[in-house]
Structure 1
Amino acid sequence: MRIDYAVESDYPYIVENDKHLIETLIRQKINNHEIFILRDRNQEIGWMRYGYFWDHIPFMNMIWIDEEHRGQGFGEKVITYWEEIMKQKGFQRVMTSTLSSEEAQHFYRKLGYRDAGCLLLEKEPLEIIMTKHL
């Protein structure tokens, strides 16, 4: 498995699978190197994208691993890779969030993320905000 910054040729793959981000922002995130593509044998198998909370804390927004590649450690590898890059850039903390109804919260805790608060939107499950010191 290889992790690269997404490039323009990855755009169709991301657009096809990322239903949480409007298409016009995908190109912007590609150009800003805020999406990592996971490849296995030169085939896209997933991605991770991030932004910045309060414009200065790296915030992992989304991880996607194609169904047939889940459970093989790829998610952990891309998170660890991202955390190391953020540390090299001088950041001391990273963040993410997950719905309380999702199993991802346990995955993030296993990787050292700690609950830092929550967000409750009308008619939505509780969103757990998580942080990790690098």
Structure 2
Amino acid sequence: MVEIAKPGQGDKEWLLREDHHVGEAWVSRCIDLDEYLIAREEGEILGFLRFSRFWGRIPYMEMIRVLDGHRRSGVGTALFLAWETEMRESGARLLMTSSECDESRPQDWHRRNGFSETGSIELPGIQTVPEVFFLKKLD
């Protein structure tokens, strides 16, 4: 059974290796601010969800990643649902996320989990394709 929890400092090396899109300072910051969730089964970490707050207020899912061999088994959904519950309980009324416009599978996943496309922006010099943003209203 998959367990969703906050990582401890002992999980930092794993996160540094697997969340290689950001540097050590950001990983440490997110651990310190409880902005990671990890999925673990029988002691093995299977994936993570990293978030921050857009404008310091709106929970923004920056990255969700499940290791090869564990994808399409419910791990990502378990991470997302735990995060959604935590954000709702903290008083959030809206969730936000994004993906590059040519990433159809992640976009389909966001839509299946209740997100709606809300617009896109181009980031010249950072990405070669526009970033598409999604919102989900919480009841």
Q: TM-score range by the shorter chain?
A: over 0.9
Q: Tell me the distance in 2 between the aligned counterparts of 1:48 and 1:96.
A: 12
Q: CA deviation at 1:8?
A: 0.3
Q: Tell me the distance in 1 between the aligned counterparts of 2:118 and 2:91.
A: 21
**Which residue identity does 1:133 align to in structure 2?**
K
**Which residue identity does 1:129 align to in structure 2?**
F
Where do residues 69-108 of structure 1 align in structure 2 (5 Å cutoff)?
A: 69-102=70-103, 103-108=105-110
Q: Tell me the distance in 2 between the aligned counterparts of 1:54 and 1:24.
A: 20
Q: Tell me the distance in 2 between the aligned counterparts of 1:59 and 1:128.
A: 13
TM-score, normalising length: structure 2: 0.93
Cα offsets for 1:3-25 (capped at 9, x unmatched): 00011011011101112111111
Residue 50 of structure 1 aligns with which residue? 51
Residue 10 of structure 1 aligns with which residue? 11
Deviation >4 Å, runs of 4+: none
Q: Tell me the distance in 2 between the aligned counterparts of 1:15 and 1:48.
A: 13
TM-score, normalising length: structure 1: 0.96
Q: CA deviation at 1:125?
A: 1.2
Residue identity (%): 28
**Which residue identity does 1:131 align to in structure 2?**
L
Which residue of 113, 117, 129 corresponds with 1:125? 129
Cα offsets for 1:93-132 (capped at 9, x unmatched): 0100011111200100011100111111225212110000
Q: Tell me the distance in 2 between the aligned counterparts of 1:18 and 1:86.
A: 22
Residue 21 of structure 2 aligns with which residue? 20
What is the aligned-residue RMSD (CA, Å)? 0.9
1:30 and 2:34 equivalent?
no
1:113 and 2:115 equivalent?
yes
**Which residue identity does 1:111 align to in structure 2?**
N
Q: Tell me the distance in 2 between the aligned counterparts of 1:32 and 1:100.
A: 30
Q: Which runs of 5+ in 1 are unaligned?
A: none
